[in-house]
Amino acid sequence: MAAVSDATDSGTFSWSTLLGAELVSQNDEKLATDAALTGKVVALYFSAHWCGPCRGFTPKLAGAYKTMVAAGKPFEIVFVSSDKDEESFDDYFADMPWKALPFSERDLKGQLSKKYKVRGIPTLVILDENGKTLTTDGRTAIMEDPSGADFPWRPKTVGELLGSELTGKDGPVPVASLAGKKLALYFSAHWCPPCRGFTPELVKVYNNMKAAGRDDFEFIFVSSDRDEEAFNEYFAEMPWLSLPYADRKGKNALSSLFNVEGIPTLVTLDENYNIINKSARGPAGADPQGANFPWVPETMEELSAGVECNGYDVNEKPAIVVLCDGAEQAVKDSCAAALKVVADELAAAGKGLEDGPELICFTAKENAGPVPQVRKMTKIEEVTPTPTMLLLDIPDNGGFYTSDATEVNEGSIRAFIESWKNKSATRKQLGR
């Protein structure tokens, strides 16, 4: 079985590196993966017969697929099954006019679900001809465009999605006026209690930055309010600009572009609309003067202060955690120094990659914040003077690993990571 890889990074992409050597079609016909998919835009359809919403969406997807194939569009779909047994897979796949990952490839199916952060089904992930992700919300793309008029649904740039004008306090504001400025996009809504709690904090940050004479930035509200009246009421509390409320399509596209799965979310961008930090809410809340704007992600964070690091969340990315909350200060400092070296290496290796760094890194110097919960879920509840290394792989259905190393240093950290990568480390399951 082929392991999921990022062959797009090498410039020599082949579909078999992602999906294995063979796919199946109807009647269990075997197909060479590369022959079936090369030169095509491919949608991975994560679905299952037991899932009611899946059974409702599949006929609509089949209709769109047949329309686009009949029109000569280079489009293919690969069913990635979450069925509970092969009989159910066969029964469900019989209704599909496309290809499928063999049901026996359970490990590969799990790797694909992890790679594309599939947290529910049906999920449709659309990839371009070189395996690069176009959208993880292909379901919306199909529902909004069943004829494929916008095929292959390549994402627009931030500049295109912002349009030509934003909403200001005194009327429209040209987007062109933001040239040369760093931006913060604030995804929020009046109906959301955490948003209403965070917005006053963010207002203080913004006002303090303006009071300091800074003119190199702007914030933009991207509203998830349910109607324009609620938007107007909520926006009245904000001193910054907003995407026009009427531009619902642009709002949805921005949410999809930045994989916004919950609000409030704060995304910071450089002058060319490149992402600086897609999880800037925590750093902003901890920086009331805005001195560290645009909150460039750290390569290593303290877990007791939160679960975000390097622009990623521990729930969406495998993470090294050094539990040293019971150690002497000198030991804590030594652990942090060693982990920082490895964290910098991981961040540098992941820079520019579609999936970002392979791992994110945390120290746990204090038994506070999420640390007690991590100890409880890993059953390492006794706080001792000796540090413990964990590797949390929450995206892998709540997996985790522990290191047997008696000392935390650069070598032992790297060895632990290598044991996870080559699967010699023993996987354990997080409890509750």
Distance CA(134)–CA(58), nearest Å, equals: 20
Mean pLDDT of 368-384: 94
Lowest mean pLDDT among 127-136, 164-173, 281-290, 351-360: 351-360
Contacts of 373 (CB under 8 A, 6+ apart): none
pLDDT of residue 87: 95
Mean pLDDT of 98-114: 94
- The amino acid at 144: E
Residues 432 and 373 sit within 8 Å (Cβ to Cβ): no
Q: Residue ranges per domain, the chain?
A: 7-144, 158-285, 300-429
Contacts of 9 (CB under 8 A, 6+ apart): 353, 354
Count Cα atoms within 13 angstroms, Cβ side, for 126: 21
CATH label, 300-429, candidates 3.90.550.10, 3.40.50.12780, 3.30.1490.70, 3.40.30.10? 3.40.30.10
Mean pLDDT of 5-33: 81
pLDDT of residue 306: 86
Global model pTM greater than 0.95: no
Band (9; pLDDT cuts 50, 70, 90): very low
Band (2; pLDDT cuts 50, 70, 90): very low
CATH label, 158-285, candidates 3.40.30.10, 1.10.238.10, 3.40.50.300, 3.40.50.970? 3.40.30.10
* 261-301 pLDDT, tens digit each: 889 999 999 999 999 998 899 899 999 999 999 999 899 99
Dihedral sign of CA atoms 361, 363, 364, 366 in order: negative
Q: Which two tokens stand for residue 283?
A: 């750093």
pLDDT of residue 11: 54
Lowest mean pLDDT among 2-6, 77-81, 231-235: 2-6
* 43-76 pLDDT, tens digit each: 999 999 999 999 999 999 999 999 999 999 999 9
Q: Which two tokens stand for residue 337?
A: 């120094």
Asked, colleague to colleague, whether 158-285 and 300-429 share their fold, the answer is yes
Q: Which two tokens stand for residue 129?
A: 């001809």
For the chain, the residue count is 432
Distance CA(216)–CA(214), nearest Å, equals: 6
Distance CA(21)–CA(31), nearest Å, equals: 8
Contacts of 7 (CB under 8 A, 6+ apart): 13, 14, 17, 18, 131
Distance CA(139)–CA(125), nearest Å, equals: 8
* 219-250 pLDDT, tens digit each: 999 999 999 999 999 999 999 999 999 999 89
Band (391; pLDDT cuts 50, 70, 90): very high
Q: List, in sequence order, every residue forming a beta bridge with 185; answer none if it has no partner.
A: 220, 267
Q: Hey, which bits of 170-292 come out as E strands?
A: 171-174, 182-188, 217-223, 241-242, 265-269, 275-277
CATH 3.40.30.10 fits 7-144, yes or no: yes
Dihedral sign of CA atoms 104, 107, 110, 114 in order: negative
Count Cα atoms within 13 angstroms, Cβ side, for 177: 11
Over 80: is that where the pLDDT of 3 sits?
A: no
Residues 369 and 361 sit within 8 Å (Cβ to Cβ): no
